[in-house]
Amino acid sequence: AVDGRAELRCGAPDYLPLAGPAPATAAFRERYAALGRNARAAVPARAPCVPGLYVSTGHGSRGLSSAPLAAELIASQACDEPPPLPRPLARAIAPARFILRDLIRSGGTP
């Protein structure tokens, strides 16, 4: 008998999970276009997001420990409560981080 097994884990290029509000990509790129020309430009604090849509993915092999914390973060964001994580860590796992990085690297061109 032939037997096989394959397993996949979803992960991000920087090995951090993605957890938080789903970015409205077109509006996000438009609002932060200045970062393409100057990565240190002052930009609005609130990123445009799809209302009511949150993301929790890319936990990889650490999902058993990171998924519950991501769920707490998303619940706090959805209910407008204080986050369970320090702000720099919440930013580090924000789903919009790759859009922002690509915008800065591309010099503002789509």
- Residue-wise pLDDT for 72-106, tens only, equals 999 999 999 999 999 999 999 999 999 999 988 88
Average pLDDT over residues 36-57: 89
Question: By the 8 A CB rule, do 58 and 16 touch?
Answer: yes
Report DSSP state, residue 45: S
pTM over 0.75, yes/no: yes
CA 72, chain centre distance (Å):
15
Is residue 11 in a domain?
Answer: no
Is residue 53 in a domain?
Answer: yes
Using DSSP's 3-state secondary structure scheme, residue 55 falls into: strand
What is the model's pLDDT at position 56? 98
Alpha helices in 22-62 (DSSP H): 25-31, 34-37
Is residue 8 in a domain?
Answer: no
Q: How far apart are CA 82 and CA 16, in angstroms?
A: 22
Is residue 43 in a domain?
Answer: no
Domain that holds residue 29: 18-38+48-106
How many domains in the chain?
Answer: 1
Is residue 4 in a domain?
Answer: no
Q: How confident is the model at residue 46 (pLDDT cuts 50, 70, 90)?
A: confident
